[in-house]
Structure formats: structure tokens, C-alpha cells
Amino acid sequence: MLTIPAQCVAESRIAELDFNNIEFGKIFSDHMLVADYKDNEWQSPQILPYGNMTMSPATSALHYGQSIFEGMKAYKDANGDILLFRPLENFRRLNKSGERMCMPAITEDIFMKGLEQLLRLDAAWVPPTAGCALYIRPFMFATDDFIGVRPSASYRFTIFTCPVGAYYGQPLKVAIEPDYVRSAEGGAGFAKAAGNYGAALLPARKMQERGYHQLIWTDAKEHKYIEESGTMNLMFVIDGKLITPPVSTTILAGITRDSVLQLAKDLGYTVEERKVSIDELVEAHKAGKLQEAFGTGTAATIAQIATIHYNGEDMDLPAVEDREISNHISTELDKIKTGETPDTHNWVHRIRL
């Protein structure tokens, strides 16, 4: 078992945190894990006080975008144990993103043992409050100071954490994007690569200026089929069936997405993973059959969509409290994550303090 040397903070900053009023992504826990890759191997990781990193202006991640990340969450159960939700899936997805971006794979030992040790040290930062969690951000970036275009030979892997509340505070108004493209087949859309998010900021801001919280991406070839939203996969309930676009090279394989589909099947709902066209949504709405729409993501959890805009029209959806399928699944998922219900799929990784 790897035991990671830790330089601990002299005094915790936790007194600055109001557990009853946590904003997403603004306050960071006391420590971070850092491991460097050089000479073709990962060097021993360390735990350090959370803080700035110095780097050369020529750091290649800043110029050519070899930078990938993950998002995961930890909860506390009634005994005070820390519960991680499907962390090995994040580990695997990080390495898939890394492969696409020509970066080395992180080892399971560094990822999992590093995570466990970091969480033990910063256990007090895991919010006990319902609806809150400790958000965990593993990421990796290229560190060569070299400005020729080639894969870096050195990298840094880091994990830091932050207590969070809801990412979206209200049901969302989203608009279908008719022009911009997030991702095309054969591209890197399935990777959790920093550049995918950077390139989405301008189209998202334009939609926000028109009064929508987020946009819905459509396929790059025809702008005909629904892909995903800014920070979430998308699901619809049409005529009692839960329908979502299949994962592909253009869509992120969401872990919440996968969990929701599994739970929907467990609960006896009909699930269809297939292409969803804009026309289908518009027709279903006209016929009164578009009953629910929601996003799924680690940060977003299950985020209800109140309105979908397309081609000059707002399609208003039924009230959130009337949405049987998403509310049912959301409640069950929360109970599994917080240890209130048996974990029949072995999704929870428990850290006993």
C-alpha cells in the first residue's frame, strides 16, 4: 500500500466555510495531491497544502492544450464514513481522455490511494448537509517548457477538492444551438479535455445573453440530432419512455448518465438509447408527449429543464413536481450516494475514518 508523504497545513481554513451556504467551486479544502511524470514514469506523489503552483511561461499545456480533468463527488453517511461514488469510472475515463490527448496513463494506485489519503486528511471538509458534497477535481496537464508542437514529455497530475452546493440553483431554460459545433465524429468530444470547455464558452455566453442558462449541442453534420448540454448529458421522457442519445466519439460518457439509465431499468422504466432529433422533440411537445427533460452530470446531478428554445419558440415543459421518472431516479440515486439504501451495483467506495 502506497503511503504518501504529506506536508500538512499549520492551521486549517475550515472556519471560513459556512456549511449552510456553500457556493459551487469557490472555496478549496486545505490540501492537494501532486504527482509528476518525468523520465517515462510517475514519480512518488505528495500531499501539499492547497496553493499556487509556479510554472514556466512556456509550459506546453498553456499553448497546445494537453490538459484533461475529471469531476467526482464524496458524501458523508450517517456514521461519518466518506462515500465516493464510482471513483474507478472517473479513473478510467481520465485515462481515456489522456490517451486521446497523447498523455500518459495515471496509475490506479496513485489515483485511488492518493484520493483516499487526501480525503482522510480533509475529511472535515465533506459537507454533512443534504444537497451538498465534496467536489473532487483530478486533473493532468503537460509541463514541458518547450514551444514546439509535440506531446510533452513531462506532466503533472493533481487532485484538489472543494465543498459544493447545487451547481444549478433552479430549473433551466436551455436553447438548441443552430450554428456552433462542439464536437464532430473523429474529434475529441468524448474526452474531458479542457479545450472542449474553452471552445464552448462563446456560444454559451451568446445564449446566456438571450436569457438561456445553457445551450443544447446538436450534431456537426446536420444540426439535426441532440448531443449534450454544456455541463451535462441530456435525457427526455417522451410518452412515458426515458430516451437519451447514445454515447459516441462526440459525446462525453457521463457516469451520472450511466447510473441514471441503470436505475431507470432497475425501477422498471422503459429506456431507449438512440438518436433524438430536434423534430422529434418539437412534435412530441406539440402532441403533449414531451413530459420531462433533464441533464445529468456530476456537478449538475439531475438538473431539471423547464424550457427548451428552438427556432424562435420556447417549449415550456410540465412542472418539475409532476415529473415522475426523473424525480424517482433522483431520489434513489441520492439515497445510494449517501448510503441510505443498499448499494446493489457496488457503486459506493467507502472510506472508514
Count of residues near ligand COI by CB under 6 A = 7
* DSSP per position, 224-238: -BEEEETTBEEEEEE
Q: Site residues for ligand COI, window 154-193 (CB under 6 A)? A: none
Q: Considering only residues 68, 82, 299, 336, which one is a binding residue for ligand COI as defined by CB under 6 A?
A: 299
Phi, then psi, of 176 in degrees rounded to 5? -75, 125
298 binds ligand COI (CB under 6 A): yes
Binding segment toward ligand COI, per CB under 6 A, in 81-89, 142-150, 293-301, 345-353:
293-301
Q: How far is the CB of 38 from ligand COI (least distance, A)?
A: 27
Give me the 188-227 binding string for ligand COI, x by CB under 6 A, dash otherwise. ---------x------------------------------
CB of 2 to ligand COI, least distance (A): 25
- Under rule CB under 6 A, residue 233 binds ligand COI: no
Query: Rounded to an integer, what is the distance from CA 19 to the centroid of its chain?
Result: 22
Segment contacting ligand COI (CB under 6 A): 11-19, 92-100, 101-109, 297-305?
Answer: 297-305
- Given the complex with ligand COI, which of 95 and 298 has the nearer CB atom? 298
Does 229 help bind ligand COI (rule: CB under 6 A)? no
* Least separation in angstroms between CB 40 and ligand COI: 29
Q: Of residues 138, 189, 295, 297, which one binds ligand COI by CB under 6 A?
A: 297
Nearest distance in Å: CB 312, ligand COI: 29
Output the CA–CA distances (angstroms, integers) from residue 6 to 53, 135, 224, 256, 312, in the order listed: 17, 21, 52, 32, 56
Phi and psi (nearest 5°) for 301? 55, -120
User: Helix, strand or coil for residue 180?
Assistant: coil
Residue 244: partners with Cβ closer than 8 Å, 6 or more residues away: 233, 234, 235, 236, 257, 261, 271, 272, 273, 276
Pure H helices in the chain: 60-64, 87-100, 108, 114-121, 194-209, 255-266, 278-286, 324-337
Binding of ligand COI by 259 (CB under 6 A): no
Q: In whole angstroms, what is the distance from residue 201 CA to residue 92 CA?
A: 26
Query: Does the protein bind ligand COI through residue 71 (CB under 6 A)?
Result: yes
Does the footprint of ligand COI cover residue 107 (CB under 6 A)?
no
Please tell me whether residue 231 binds ligand COI under the rule CB under 6 A: yes
CB of 225 to ligand COI, least distance (A): 22
How far apart are CB 191 and ligand COI at their closest, in Å? 12
Q: Which residue is nearest to ligand COI (CB)?
A: 71
Interface region with ligand COI, contact rule CB under 6 A, candidates 294-302, 313-321, 328-336, 341-349: 294-302
Question: Which residue is it, cell 439531475?
Answer: 302
Determine whether 328 is exposed, middle or buried from the number of CB atoms within 10 Å of its CB (0-12, 13-18, 19+): middle
In 3D space, the residue among 35, 28, 37, 32 whose CA is nearest the CA of residue 47 turns out to be 32
152: three-class secondary structure by DSSP? coil
Q: Which amino acid is at 336?
A: I
- Sign of torsion over alpha carbons 169, 254, 273, 342: negative
- Least distance (Å) from ligand COI to the CB of residue 323? 21
Taking the complex as a whole, the smallest distance from the CB of residue 24 to ligand COI amounts, in Å, to 8
Q: Are 30 and 121 in contact (CB under 8 A)?
A: yes
**Is residue 47 a contact residue for ligand COI (CB under 6 A)?**
no
Q: Shortest Cβ distance from residue 157 to ligand COI (Å)? A: 16
> Is the separation of the CB atoms in 217 and 229 below 8 Å?
yes
Query: Residues 142, 103: contact at Cβ < 8 Å?
Result: yes
**Site residues, ligand COI (CB under 6 A):** 71, 197, 231, 297-300
